[in-house]
Structure 1
Amino acid sequence: MLKDQQVGAVLPAQDIARARAYYSEKLGLEPENPDANDNLQYRCGNGTGFFIYQTSNAGTAKNTQIGWMVDDVAATVAELRDKGVKFEDYDFPGLKTENGIATMPDGEKAAWFLDSEGNILSLNQGI
């Protein structure tokens, strides 16, 4: 029933104005509902999108909450770093980043960063 339906992510924000500024200035995204005060709706590639709503629970999840599929992780990381985005470094069994980028055993690449609200976001490049 749901397998052919579009899906979108939902992210929390403690400060919706701060989140709006971050997503605009750092990620180059503008909300579809610029006049809203308590939520932000964004559209990305192929009709996908995500929603940000105001809540005091923002930043409490310790897992990746949204990810973008990109053609070149290294180039995208460099572009976002130029805008002030800071990438996470991890060193776990089976996952180690170098210069913010992890290469998975199958050759896929990934990088993670936190938004202004403490949400973990990722960039992913398939093989």
Structure 2
Amino acid sequence: MNKIYTWVLEISVVVMTFSLVWFAFVYYPNIANQYKTGAVLPKKTAYAPVYAQSTGFPIETDAYRIVYEQKSQTYYVIIAGGKLDEYIFNRDNAKLAIKSALSLENLCSLNVVYTSASRLEIPEKFKDPGC
């Protein structure tokens, strides 16, 4: 039993040493060189950032539409996005647009209603205004 244990331990040390040498001197320099030369490009995002062109309401982009209703003093944000991650990205951009338009640090003092243009079911944890 002791000889088998010693043999397994020795084989493990040899395999680990070989793996370390291969990663350090073969794999890593090859991958680093590919990134330097541009052979491997970073993955592109599925959606591009958008920005609002005006500071007056309504603010409209391809990703969202922000409308201010003066009677109820409420901002209605209609957000595009076929998937939840796209919806959240666009919602965060819309929040930033409102903050920029009103020169505010946060939206806690405002009445803002977010809705999905594609009628996505939004989980409760993403409906939190973040105050």
Q: TM-score range by the shorter chain?
A: under 0.3
More helix by share: 2
More strand by share: 1
Instruction: State which structure, 1 or 2, has the greater radius of gyration over its C-alpha atoms.
Output: 2
Compute the TM-score of the two structures, normalised by the length of structure 1: 0.23
Compute the TM-score of the two structures, normalised by the length of structure 2: 0.22
